[in-house]
């Protein structure tokens, strides 16, 4: 279960299939046209990507959070909703904000020695 923060427009609604489930989308390179638009996030111009949204990236990518207007708002939403950074590891608002500010890529599992630790502390 990997997670990453993607920049999206304020009004972004991730597509859903006929059963109402999110359609996995790979992240496109900023400002570059996607090779297959049905499989990639839209390549919005940088000025349109005003919001932050957490995605799971174990598959191609589906949203875990709504688009939030700032890293702080996203961190608060993730902490308030007890979102897992990795199996069994939720985070505080400060931990989520630190991970977002360090690039927003959260690895699936972190191990220090023989002990699993929160990936939010090591991203």
pLDDT bracket for residue 122 (50, 70, 90): low
- 8-24: average pLDDT: 94
**R_g over Cα of the chain:** 15
> Please, which residues bridge with residue 55 across strands?
4, 63
Residue 20 predicted with pLDDT over 60: yes
């Amino acid at each position: 279960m990997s997670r990453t923060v993607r920049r999206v427009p304020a009004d972004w609604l991730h597509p859903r299939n006929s059963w109402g489930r999110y359609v996995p989308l790979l992240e496109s390179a900023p400002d570059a046209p996607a090779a297959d638009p049905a499989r990639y996030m839209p390549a919005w111009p940088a000025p349109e990507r005003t919001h932050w949204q957490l995605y799971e990236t174990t598959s191609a990518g589906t949203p875990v959070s709504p688009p939030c207007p700032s890293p702080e708002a996203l961190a608060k939403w993730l902490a308030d909703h007890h979102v897992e950074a990795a199996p069994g590891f939720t985070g505080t608002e400060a931990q989520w904000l630190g991970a977002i500010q360090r690039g927003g890529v959260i690895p699936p599992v972190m191990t220090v020695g023989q002990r699993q630790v929160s990936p939010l502390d090591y991203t």
